[in-house]
Each structure stands twice: as structure tokens, then as C-alpha cells.
Structure 1
């Protein structure tokens, strides 16, 4: 188990990985967290897959399609036999580091109006402070109405290692707790709470300053731990990560577009 598990959403950071593949551009990790490990780590049970790539940080836009294809194949693996997908972009569209879900939402090719048997549809609930309504309540109401096979949630994540910012795309069937990465926990979105299969995909865009201090200065935890750090060019990183994730989702599920 890695240290500082509480300050990361990334499974590869809070528990050792089981499988690794590396094709030179993308390194693929898998982690399984069972009930015993979940209790020990304080992290949700489930399967976690991580695709690490330097493509975004190095500005290799010509490789984005390849990363999208790999991520789309991973999503298909987690959503086998799911023909009706409700994609949900979480986060605050007015806060750049938290706007990934909204940016992906705006790039999705929705098809439910073309084919109600096999489709991709989407929504973005914004945040409680803007709407006065919990994200869970909006998502639950819509899902109960349209009855998708699965809910695919997109959100920005928190990493423990600064090197994983905009470099690691995580897919998990464990669900997601909106705001958990920045200690603003809302009601959890998972199969138990919603009644539908839930898969989430995200990329870390912030890291705690105490994590950076420990990594480079061996500083003690506390004090600066409440400060959250994001790169100065986060606006570009968010847009590029959104291109990759939306490309993956469109390629995998926008049937009939």
C-alpha cells in the first residue's frame, strides 16, 4: 500500500497493481480492491484500470486518437452488453481544474433521439452551490426516467504524484463520490445508490501541496495539506484531456451518429 492513500483517487497510488502492459505510448495498469482491502484502505471495492501516457503533457496531439481508442476499448470492456449509456459530466464548469466533466459533455455526440434501443445520451448537473440541487438527485431522477443500461460518469480526480497530472486516465466500476478529491464529499454515485451500473472515468488535475512537500522535501503532513495545487496551464490540459475522453466515449458508444 502506498502512503497518503487518503489524498488520491488513483488506485495505482493506493495499492500495488496486478497487471501491466506497455506499448511505448500507453502503460496500462489493473487493480482489484476486494472487501477486505476496501476496509483496510478506506477505498471503494471494485476494478480499477489506469492508462498512463505522456501524450498530453508533451503536446503530442497526433497521438490523441490512439489514446482515445485505447481508453474507448477499456470503457467497452467495463460496459459489456450495455447498449444504452447515460454519460454524466460532473464538476463546476466555472472552475477550470474542476471543469473536465463539463468539457467532455460539450464534446459528446448524443444519439438517443436517433435510436432509443442503442444510444448515448448525456447531462451535466453542475454543482450544488450553483443549482441548489445535489448531483445525485438530478442523475437519479433522469436515470429512473430513461432507464439506461449504465451510467458513465466523468470527473476530475486528485493524484498523490504530481507526475500523474493530466497523464493518467482511470476507469473504475466502483462508482464515484463527487467532490471527494477536494474534501467536499457529496452523496456517492454507484450501483447500490442509483440502481444502475455505474462506471467512472477521469484524470487527475490537482494534487495536495503537502504531497509535493513530502515528495521533494520530506516535509511532515499537515498545515499545507489543505492547499490544492494545479498546473498554471490547466486550461489547456483540461481541454486536451476532454478531447481524449470524449473521443473515447463517442467512438465506443455513439452508435448511429
Structure 2
């Protein structure tokens, strides 16, 4: 194991909170993590300072994580609660940038022909755009000037995504950009279950491993707020988490703590919340999986990557429900944007 270069196999995640929690907190001098609950939905505000930015491989700035959790966000009540919480977060980030009521360009990043990467374009199908109406002088003060563009991907346009956005920005003279894109997570539990909002911008295509030129205040000259949902996870992550879950499951069975199937559960075993299951001791890990069980998470990931990557097996994977998930997530984000940007849109 000494010969494995761990730097080649950094955990793939676009979520700042994951990057922070995957790092030894003692090595992060200027990280602030604040947790709150709003309407039963967890919101995590992560502030990354310049000293910690290189360690966690994230830009300094604000990152909000809205945790949808394991509930069914397709039902109307949960849908509306998530939308309202997200609206409040977006309003806070816009205010933090001093852009409340200013001219906004919404950018739907991604490839509409690839479902896990189609979140951005689908959001644009539902947002309220008003720039053309402002030019006609027919809009009230309860609306902001909003325009929108879906620049596609370089594989279909032949043009760098950033160049299209920057050209449009310069032509129509907007004050700030809100970009929506698909992301990647380092945990199965966060796929389609987390919404991240940040004031640090984004690199288009990062969610599907096709990182393009950064879209940020540094590259555009105006604030860039990014909204993203992890829609994919790589095979290394799935394999690593499966091993961890397997160890917890076996340890739970060994301790006799696993909920048993009975008539009330229809004869089916109740699901385990693996985040709450106590991790097995090293002796038990070795008993179940030998030396593999004793590897640290970092070494285990590196070993799995060594096995999968050379043969091209470290695939990006998405849930089978991705079509319905992306459709509803896009509506949640567009609804939250409309309410955050336009006073006239009902907030109830």
C-alpha cells in the first residue's frame, strides 16, 4: 500500500460541506460550519477562508447546503417547503453580494440530451424572464430585470461555454449571474438529495467529470452565484461506501441490533440509517474483511481507484429515478428563483 499515490485519487465531490467533513478539522484554521433547521429541512452554512481553501480544494466564500434528506420531495408539502427554504437561502446570498433588485442573467449549464446533466436547461424552462418587458417599459417595480440563457455544451456548439456566457453578459450589461448546474457527490446519500448555493461561481461540466473554464467573479468581473445538485456519483465512491455499509451491517447483525422483519413490516427488513449505525471496532473489521477491513477510508478509495480506473471502470452513475428527480428539482429551483428575484411572485 505504501506505493499508492493518494494525490491521484482525491475524493470527487463538488459539495463544499463534503470536502470539509472529509478533511481533518484540525487542519482547517478558518472554516466555519453553522447548522440550522427551517421547516424541518436542514441547512448548513459553510464559510471557507483563504487559509483552508487549498486544503479542501474549494474557493474561499459562502456555501449553503440544503439537505432534502431521504423524504419524498415529490409530494406537494415537502416540495413547497424545500422551495421556500431554498428561496430564503438564495435571497440571503444575493443580499450578501449586494445584488438585490439588480439585473440578473440566469445561466442553465449542462447538456439537455444527457439527463443527469440536464438540470440547468430544465430550470430555464420554468423561470420568469423579464428583460424584454423592461425594455418595453411595461414592468412594475415588483419585478427584477431577469434574462436567461442555456449555452449548451462545447461538444454540440464548438464554443467554450464561458465564452458564450461572457459575450452575452457583455452585450446585455447585467449586474450578476446565477448559474445552475449538475454536480458530483462523494456520498450515495447526497445524490439528488442536496442543493448547494454558493457565491464562489462554478466550473461548467464538473458534475459529469468534464470540467471547463471557471465561471466566477474573477473571470467575469461580476458576482456569480451558483446553484447545483449532485446528480452523479463515481464507481469508486459506490464501492467504498458499500464496503463501509457492509461492515456496519455485519457488525449490527453480530450485535443483534438489526431491526427484524415481522408482520407489521410486511415481512420485509426495515432499512438501516447507516449514518446512525455505530462503526465496528478494528478487530471486528479484520474478522469480516481481513486486511481490507483495516484500511483507512482514504487508502480504501485509493485501492479501489487503482483497480477500476486503468480499465475505465470508474464510471459516473446516476439513480434510475433520475428523470423524475431532475424534473421536480428543476421546478423547485426555478420556483425558488422566481420568488427570490421578483417581489410580485407569491412567497406563500
TM-score tier after normalising by the smaller chain length: over 0.9
Mapping of residues 1-257 of structure 1, within 5 Å: 6-16=11-21, 18-23=33-38, 25-54=40-69, 57=72, 59-80=74-95, 81-82=98-99, 83-115=102-134, 118-217=144-243, 220-222=303-305, 223-224=307-308, 226-254=314-342
- How far the C-alpha of 1:63 sits from its partner, in A, is 2.1
Whole-Å separation in 2 of the counterparts to 1:128 and 1:56 = 36
Whole-Å separation in 2 of the counterparts to 1:173 and 1:183 = 22
- How far the C-alpha of 1:243 sits from its partner, in A, is 0.8
Whole-Å separation in 2 of the counterparts to 1:89 and 1:55 = 26
Larger Rg over CA atoms: 2
Whole-Å separation in 2 of the counterparts to 1:229 and 1:174 = 26
Whole-Å separation in 2 of the counterparts to 1:43 and 1:157 = 14
The verdict on how the C-alpha distance between 1:60 and 1:25 changes in structure 2, with shifts beyond 3 A counting, is farther
RMSD, matched Cα? 2.0
Partner of 1:91, secondary structure, is coil
Whole-Å separation in 2 of the counterparts to 1:46 and 1:6 = 21
Whole-Å separation in 2 of the counterparts to 1:168 and 1:94 = 23
Whole-Å separation in 1 of the counterparts to 2:74 and 2:83 = 15
The verdict on how the C-alpha distance between 1:79 and 1:23 changes in structure 2, with shifts beyond 3 A counting, is closer
TM-score normalised to the size of structure 2? 0.69
Whole-Å separation in 1 of the counterparts to 2:338 and 2:74 = 22
Whole-Å separation in 1 of the counterparts to 2:10 and 2:66 = 19
Whole-Å separation in 1 of the counterparts to 2:233 and 2:48 = 23
- How far the C-alpha of 1:45 sits from its partner, in A, is 1.7
TM-score normalised to the size of structure 1? 0.92
- How far the C-alpha of 1:252 sits from its partner, in A, is 1.1
Is the 1:5–1:13 contact (alpha carbons within 8 Å) kept by the matching residues of 2? no
Partner of 2:132, secondary structure, is coil
Q: Structure 1 unaligned segments of length 5 or more: list them.
A: none
Q: Structure 2 unaligned segments of length 5 or more: list them.
A: 1-8, 22-31, 136-140, 245-299
1:187-245 Cα offsets, whole Å, 9 max, x none, are: 00000101110000011110111111111215533143531110011000000100100
The verdict on how the C-alpha distance between 1:26 and 1:216 changes in structure 2, with shifts beyond 3 A counting, is same
Partner of 1:196, secondary structure, is coil
1:58-98 Cα offsets, whole Å, 9 max, x none, are: 53232212211111111111112422110000000000000
The structure where helix makes up a greater share of residues is 2
Structure with higher RCO (Cα < 8 A, 6+ apart):
1
Partner of 1:37, secondary structure, is helix
